[in-house]
Structure 1
Amino acid sequence: MAAEDQAPRTKPHPDKSKKRKKPKKDKWGQPFSVAAAEEPLVEPEQEPPAEDVEAAAEAEETAAAAEGYEPGKVVASGLPYTMTEVEIRKLFEWYGPLRSVQLSRFPDSGNFRGLAFVCFESDEVAIKSLELDGFKIGNRFMRVERCRVTASSNRKRKAEFQADPDKSEGCLSAYVGNLSWNVTEKDLQDFFKSSKIASIRFAIDKRTGGFRGFCHVDFQDDESLEKAIGMNQSELQGRPVKIAYSVSNRG
């Protein structure tokens, strides 16, 4: 008998050679490829809850204040006198969104003095912008450093949480805050055109010579003062202006 006749004869399964492996499925019951199966499943990123974002921002501000710095704020000095606010914004916005840019100017001429305060929406971004320290613009090297907390900034921060002061006897002055850095005396005279103004006193930073964003307006009579107080939160140059009775320790 031939050797092949002695081998056990087993009938192959009719579909064995054509049988396909059952496709693997993910946890949602959908099939995925072998290549995909070899890679770990990555869940899509989700934005953190708003509460977490606010808590993180508060933590940043607390940490910055503890170190003696204004949260999210840097000082840029050594800038060319010909540089504009638009150019400064463009330079720093590369690192992240800004809250404000304040240019320090010479009191007599009003010309830019090469010093600017840049406030970011995040203290983390402000720290990253310190990379610009030593950056050359034209023939000058700019200096960028974190803005230190001053006594005036502490008073301003505390005042934000205080109620508006009551009118004192004989008061004819109003505190006018949240003003644009570019506001002029004429702008304020036009703003309070229905009142009789005696004088306007702009608040100037003694260290930098820059405008601090608020002023005191003295009126000629009580009626003019009350008209001005009634304009609280009215808009001037795109900003809601804070107007309250002036107190002796302000300014």
Structure 2
Amino acid sequence: MDTSSREQERNEEHDEEEEEEEEEATTNEATTTNNETIIPQNDPNKNKKCKGNPSGITRLFLGNLPFSVDEDSLETFLQPAALTHIKWITDKETGKFYGSAFVEMRNSKDAAIVVVDKNGTNLMDRPIKANYAPSRPGDVWPPKSKVWTAGKQRSAGGSGVKAMSPKPEGCTKLFIGNLSYDIDDEGITKFFGNVDAEIKAVRWISHKDTGDFKGVGFVEFWNTEACEKAATLNGKTLLGRPIRIDWDASNVN
């Protein structure tokens, strides 16, 4: 692979909805599954503007979810709001759960309840992030089934450590992922300082639509020796999460 494209690939890895190829939904008629009515997309009241949701959006992004969350616990947490579809975001290759999901709410009022009342509240001791996530042109939404996984099928727990790729010659830059939303420059500097790896620069990656932190970034070190020391921390816990580290060759000549 052309090394100049590696950083772009890393950035896109956590934005699965743009890369996913889903089949077009085949019906807009209301259906009932497990005693729950799925409201059709053309229902006139579904996207009605309301307080806290002036655009009538029903699709939400949920972040900082606990790795043990499942459909039942999420539905219970969101009450009295009701969801109709969930799309878990996972690693395409490993199935590792990223701790985030897209959900379709029953209507715009329920979406507003989640964004206004649930954002920042704790689910299994983790303050979740809830934001409106309007569909982009070309998106197929909602998914073809109530519970859907973007990427490889979600693996249990999602806490496994992914092996690093082969180290490029002269590499001084690392990709870092599965980061807490509370991480900052000082925190990452102290983390790598534990192995005497002095940081030259840090770049955090955010969602281009919302500006929200994706939980990933890139760290550049002053030399290859420091970079190698930092890489030994792959899988170590930082702010309660096992950090994922890999080599980045975008700055290698």
Band of TM-score, shorter chain: 0.3 to 0.5
Question: Rg larger in 1 or in 2?
Answer: 1
The TM-score normalised by the length of structure 1 is 0.43
Which structure: greater helix fraction?
1
Higher relative CO (CA 8 A, sep ≥ 6), structure 1 or 2?
Answer: 2
The TM-score normalised by the length of structure 2 is 0.43
